[in-house]
Every structure is written in structure tokens, then in C-alpha cells.
Amino acid sequence: MSKTLVLHLVSHASGELVEMLARNAVAQLAGVEVERRLWKMVRRLGQIPEILGALAASPGYVLHSISHTDIREALEEGCRRLDLPCDFALEPLIGRLAAHAGAPVQLHHSSGDAFDEDYYRRVEAMKYALAHDDGMASDDLEGADVVLVGVSRATKTPTCMYLASRGIKAANVPLVPGAPLPAGLMNAHGPLVVGLVVDPTRLAKVRSARLQALQQDTSTDYTDADALRKEVLEARRLFIRRAWPVIDVTHRSIEQAASMIIDKLKARVGDASSSGRPLDGRPVQ
């Protein structure tokens, strides 16, 4: 039975280099079918949120040829947050050539981007999502448009990345059994807080696969069926007590969950407008 390899190729130019490398590498693998997506002419930081959103929706292996430091760092940091492998196509060659020649590596430090309103909005949303991933900087969440709350492996991070690709500042906070929620979440009044839940059986499979990939013991409460049922039930009860809208992501794609969140944001803005409450002016597409 053949395996499917999802391959994302990101190029600063025509894409010929990463396509050639990927094609020749895959040819050495037995029984592999490739689903490939190519991004060409990636030369602006503002293009990265869209790419990360696509990666969040369809995870896979990322191979890129981006040399500008700011763009490369944004792509690689986003992939790290999404837990996706990401390699610079020329890195081994450049390092070995530099060592052989005794020459320093001279990187392109800035993309020299052109700026517009859409650029700033998407880039700032991406930076916000990266800085507020997995409970980071949760002492102050008032700058968020939306905060996603849920148990571990409930697709919070990829959904935030997808929302960032739409210019929406999204943070996420994990629910850890026995640990109190951060005060910043409980005291946040500006952002829309949404609870994400997932079927315990599905969650157990996802968590077990994650631990196996990390070569860690899978026989823990982290994957125990009874413990997971309790964890998910307690999460639902919390969301109900706090009157937070709930989205079950068990059978929904990242795009579908994000679309529901965007609809809730639009409805919230509409309700505030009709009731005469002040709006914060944050854009929602």
C-alpha cells in the first residue's frame, strides 16, 4: 500500500530549484505518492501568513529556498509552532562550501518589502499568533481578536495560524488538568473566547501518534481513554459556565472551524453595532 507524502515547496523565485530537489528525493522513496503545493516568488513577509494558514490546514513537509532572514525566520518559526518539518534547501551545501572556503556566510537580512494596510494587518496577526501560542503571554490577552481555549491537541495552534492568514489576531490557551486558568484569560473582556472540543476517542489517537513521533511512553493519562473523557467533559462544563461558544472540531477541517469563528466575530461586531456599544475597529474579513 502506497503512502501519501504532503509536500509544501516555498520558493523566492520560480520554484525550479525546490521542485528539482523534491522530485529527485521522492524518486528514491518506495511506495510514496506525493501531494505537492508550490508557492513561487515569495519575497514579502506579508505572504507568510497565507502560507502558514495553508500549512495549518494541510500539514506536511516544508522545503524552502528563502534566503531573506526576516521571511525565512517567520516561515520556520511558524512551522515550528505547527510542529511541521521545515528545511532550507541550500543549507547543507552553503555550510559545507563556507567551511571548505573558509568564508563567512552572508545572509540577506531584509526583504525590503513594500508596505500597505493589508500587509501590516496580516503580518501583525501572524506575529501575535506566534507570540501568544500555547498559553504564552497569557497575562494580557486584550489585544487579541479571538482566544481559543481547549485541551491539548485540539487543533488550537493550526486554527490560530489560519486565522492569522486572514488578518485576525488569535491567541490560544491550553487546558491543563489540575492547573488554574491564567488570570489574563479570565479577565479578558475584549476578545471573543471560543472553546474547542474533540471526541475523546479521536483525541486519544492523535495524542498517541504525537507521543510515538516523540518516542515517548504512550501509556499515560495523556492518552488514557477514561482520563480523556473526563478531561473533555470538564472542558465542556467550563465553556458552559463561562458562556463561551463551543466548536466541536472532531469532524471539521481547520478551514471549517476557522470559518465558524470568523462568522462569530462578524456576528459579535454586528451585535455591538446594533446595540450602540463601541467597536474596537479591528478588521474581520
- Give the bridge partners for 171, in sequence order: 147
Q: Tell me, what's the pLDDT at 116?
A: 59
Question: Could you check whether 3-101 and 117-275 share the same CATH topology?
Answer: yes
CA–CA separation, 6 and 223 (whole Å): 26
* DSSP for residue 278: P
Mean predicted lDDT score pLDDT of the chain: 88
Q: Which three cell numbers stand for residue 39?
A: 508557492
Strands 192-197 vs 146-151: parallel, antiparallel or unpaired: parallel
Confidence of residue 97 (pLDDT cuts 50, 70, 90): confident
* pTM greater than 0.75: yes
How distant is the alpha carbon of residue 10 from its chain centre?
Answer: 17
Q: What is the pLDDT of residue 61?
A: 96
* CATH number attached to the domain at 117-275: 3.40.50
pLDDT value at 120 more than 90: no
Question: Hey, CA dihedral for 70, 72, 76, 79, is it positive or negative?
Answer: positive
What is the three-class DSSP state of 39? Answer: strand
> What does the domain layout of the chain look like in residue ranges?
3-101, 117-275
Query: Pick from 79, 53, 47: which is nearest to 257 by CA?
Result: 53
Q: What are phi and psi of 62, to 5 degrees?
A: -110, 125
**pLDDT tens-place string over residues 181-222:** 999 999 999 999 999 999 999 999 999 988 887 888 877 889
CA 272 – CA 278 distance, rounded (Å): 7
Asked whether 180 and 134 are in contact (CB, 8 A), the reply is: no
Architecture of domain 3-101: 3-Layer(aba) Sandwich (3.40)
**Residue 197's closest CA among 144, 145, 159, 143?**
159
- Distance from first CA to last CA of the chain, Å, rounded? 42
Cβ pair 146, 196 in contact under 8 A? no
Residues 168 and 162: their CA atoms lie apart, in Å, by: 9
